[in-house]
Chains A and B, each alone.
Chain A
Amino acid sequence: MADQPAAPARAGYLRLAGLTKVFPGEGGPQGAAVAGIDLEVAHGELLAVLGPSGCGKSTTLRMIAGLIEPSAGTVEVGGRDITRLPVHRRDMGVVFQSYALFPHLDVFRNVAFGLEMRKTAKSEVRTRVARALDLVRLGHLGDRRVSQLSGGQQQRVALARALVIEPAVLLLDEPLSNLDAQLRGAMRDEIRRIHDETGITTVFVTHDQREALSMADRVAVMNAGRVEQLGTPEEVYERPSGRFTAEFVGRANLLPGTVTATHGAGGGAGAEVAIPGLGTVRATGDAVTPEGRATVMLRPHRITLRAAGKADAGPRGTVLSAGYSGEVIGYRVRAAHDGPELEVEHPAGAGTAFGPGAEVLIGWDDAAPRLVADDGDPA
């Protein structure tokens, strides 16, 4: 992953405390669109807010920008409370999902808008706009009308427009969702590069876990108006705190079982869990209920299948279906005869391919099983 955690002195540059939004006409216990978010973003950090649609991530972003008034809670930047500050005095650069370029202005004037609002001298406007356009590699298109630009180019103009004012915080609302798949990958690297060059504290909202994992220093996983987990991409993916994160960030087999032994504590904690059909599984983590039950997460690509001989020992299963999708083959496998159904992914072209009905031996690499708190909230 890209950056080391920021120095303590710069931590908490953007601070959300108890940030809440209840839209009029909603309400009720589940009604808050955003239900008390506490979050700190370090100076120069790139934070992804990841969640399904309707989880409150865009509302959170819009409250930071000042476009929506919070029902409760505060937004602080650099130690200053800006909760009541109107949008146009906040010094936030925002890139909207639809880009929201000004259709009646050309590219140059779009980017220059924020500087004109700041009464920047003409000559300085020219150099700064040129620099911003160079940064997004559009230096040659200043006099184009925005309607003449492709989606990717419009995206870059929106980015340049938000960056040129050198905002305190850069906010990106689903910045890549309107681009086609190929362009999305390129823009992902591009945004990361621009962030590293400018060092602007950035929050971006997305529903795409690959975007969040590949771009961000840290990821805040949101669900139903709350932050489920906050951590580095690796933490969120490898050590999800709960069922929701496990299933939303990547795909997961979640297997309930009975704890037969526990060992270690803290980071080195682990347990042995008896799972029907798979036998005893050794897993890391400490999410064990007082009654001695636990849920083991196994990522599909960390499970291996082998053709089963008569004499082979170990958990067995039957292939229910196989789906080819280019890079991988996805299998659905029934463990034992009445055990859980597993999702398995094998790289296509490596090893044997199995057809439905094939008898297989199920294996996994030892570091893969992970205990996950079962919050009873399937994604």
Chain B
Amino acid sequence: MTTAVPTAPAPAAPPAGRLRRHRPVLLLLAPGALALLLTYALPLVWVVRMALNRPLDGGAILQTVTLSTFTDVLASSHYWNVIGQTLQLGVLTTVFTLLLSYPVALFLARTTSRWRSLLFALAVAPLLISSVARTFGWMAILGNQGVVNKTLLAIGVIDDPLRLANNMTGVVIASTEIYMPFAILAMLAGFGRLDPELERAAASLGAGRFAVLRRVVLPLTAPGVLTASLLVFVLSLSGYVTPRLIGGGRVFVLATEIYDEAMNSLNWPVAAVLSVLLLLLFGLVVAVHLWAQRVLEARFTGRGRSTS
């Protein structure tokens, strides 16, 4: 295509050779690309554009280009409080989810039980169950008339119901359970290098059970845990159904605030500004994650070099 070959009666090499060669690629990608452009890329541009408008009374919008809606939002202590609660929910949920998921993931990664597939399915199947249904289940567990309070009252441990719903406590408990399957999956995917032989090798070299855990298992599972933490943090920062239903209108996070501004106050510019802030927060979290991943990797390879 680039050099003419003297011996060949070259069948008129098409000048649009590049296009001809890439036509199958373009044809195959076109439907998906078009759909994503329409349902994902374009809307995101629109939301950023909306954030630059000014809200007027009664849901009207002043078409303009200004950062004043941003500055208004950032000047309001209410929204800072919302951001604070969002971060609080994200951090608490992530910590508890990681703590509760790690043993399950570790178990699933190492077990040779013949029930392995079933146990795996039980652990991650909730992922495919409607979050509304699962959140409703938590309402039934955590409410004043719920399982926990009724049981504790009945056996006389408490005299008054514990406040487990309509507050941050309940939202964190329910969110933890909701995001556990995600964490378990992410951890399992990152546990690839974990091999029971390694633990046996370490034990044969004289490492006690705790040393094996600290020196072999933890470092090898760190990448999976890191991925899981990113996933859970990001999901819990933006979760809507659980804070709304379990929070009972008393827990204000960015997601519920975006919905209320957009659908109840009809204040689209402010909703858009909050969305952009949430996206920025996401970007920040991902950046920190990538940095942590690099540090972790450097540490692994660095150690490898010093010992070899």
Contacts and interface: CB of A to CB of B under 8 A. Distances in A.
A contacts B directly in the complex (CB < 8 Å)? yes
A72 B5 contact: yes
Interface in B48-84: none
Contacts of B7: 17-18, 74
Nearest to B1: A71
A81 B1 contact: no
A84 interface: yes
Nearest to B17: A69
B1 A74 contact: no
B205 interface: no
Contacts of A18: 5, 7
Contact of A72 (B3, B9, B11): B3
Nearest to B6: A18
B154 interface: no
Interface residues of B, number: 9
Nearest to A18: B5
Main secondary structure on chain A at its contact with chain B?
Answer: strand
Interface string B258-284: 000000000000000000000000000
A354 to B, nearest CB: 41
Contacts of A17: 5, 7-8
A206 interface: no
Contacts of A20: 3
Main secondary structure on chain B at its contact with chain A?
Answer: loop
A40 to B, nearest CB: 12
A74 B2 contact: no
A81 B11 contact: yes
Contacts of A69: 1, 21
B2 A73 contact: no
Interface in A1-42: 17-18, 20
A18 B7 CA distance: 9
A71 B8 contact: no
Contact of B2 (A71, A81, A83): A71
A225 to B, nearest CB: 15
A17 B1 CA distance: 14
A18 B9 CA distance: 13
Contacts of A73: 5, 8
Residue from A17, A73, A84 whose CB has the most chain B CB atoms within 10 Å:
A84
A297 B3 CA distance: 40
Interface string B125-147: 00000000000000000000000
Interface string A61-82: 0000000010111100000010
Contacts of B9: 81
B7 to A, nearest CB: 4
A20 B2 CA distance: 11
Contacts of B5: 17-18, 72-74
Interface of B: 1-3, 5, 7-9, 11, 21
